[in-house]
A and B are shown apart, each in its own frame.
Chain A
């Protein structure tokens, strides 16, 4: 049985696709057979960040409509042969996204994969609610600003009430907070909320902090998930996050301007 992970936020442009690509790549690097699905039908972005846009023949909607088999549409990553991308279509509308169709695709993927990462579109409309509906875990991507925190909060409310797990009355979706585009300097200047502020408002488990980093744009222009850039701070932060998600104890980094004593503020040590 595969574990289904939704990467969600409510607010747009906070780093969901960046995170989906890095996280899926990270799981594959740890040896897990992983698929990552682009639920942003109509926009299509994940394939660019994954660097496989020129190999897209069939897409998620083709599979939903029965115009292609899953096998035909899945793109195997060139760097990791245990990582597969199911791209979104750029042209089609969202009408083909149905609960039954998505469930069928996920069930089929689950037979041959250990993790399925769902890159959710922004907003709370169909694409986003379907991306989360079947999830076991949710990475709630949040920027350290009030509007993003508020939208994440709303998303958490929807996760708690409008998911398959909620409807079946089984153990709820596990929620992980991912604070991205974090800049300790801007926190000090009072231009951004701090880790503590965000955690206090959302009161949920912090999986990790991704610093604001130029390496992210460079990586996505190059079609390389930033986690592969092991020299970059953002790449390292995503690496930490994958390890933490898999149960390793990894201290939090990139939270303080001064790169020493990072733990102090987080844990009041």
Chain B
């Protein structure tokens, strides 16, 4: 397009103004990108994937949920007792064990939160880990670590960043002084590092180690069981193939008389997250319907302001272009083009830049609610940048460009004699 060079050169007429407009656009597009990433991430987490549903079994009336481990065996079968009952295809139990390396002082630098589980479930049930491609190096190293953890019950797998924060590496041994299992302090050996950014701050241990420690507590205390002995299972996850089997398994479990004290409930993972997020409903509503639109409007105004100043300064120039034979539509294209060029380029640079910095350099943004430790900017952000930058530039420059193309030559050059 022959006009493109003209448009580009016009932007350099007032470098400072163009740069400020561009900087403003970048900041606002960056914020929009973050807001939309968060909203999209949460929407995705609360939307059911139709196949392969994870059902979450938890205590019905108490938060946090603490069920007896004795429930595990029958829950894993989906409480199936009759031949026509549906059984889950896979399962895992969750036990949260937290503690610090220093018994007297807890700081961010010395605490560990571990999921105690059957090690092999890391490979089939953990979100993100169950989808690692079979021949990827991450998958291979996870398989090795899991095999070690099955053999050595006293092992622990640490997330990358947690290991760095604790200054521990594979082979190190240390004692965890627990704060949710009083007097159950476990000595562990680091057997491996958990792959994927998602588990950077997590840790995983063999559930048998904790259960064994609680048993020996009873022996050492003359048959008096530990306070937490009947509360060692926080959650059970069951994998079911589709919504129909989910409904059936949920009905089987909730109708079963085995789970009376305490009673249990069954939810899908996303329903669980939805319930959790209800507490934040107002905040999320505000982000979606107030913050994001307010930013878009501000952005359009920033651009409208810059473009209308520049149009006003250039009345004569537009009149000259008309004398040369530029049609109103072509003048409009020149003005809109300036705004679009600045908006689209800044938008893409900003959104693409945040994608790059957040995902590639920072490795995600910590988002400390619900289960998810970090979230990423989707690759769609490149399109958001283009659309937000271009769309707001178009809206903001529409009226100024209309003014520019309506310039009346005879009035601009009229001199009152």
Chain A bound to chain B: no
Question: Contact residues of B with A, CB < 8 Å?
Answer: none
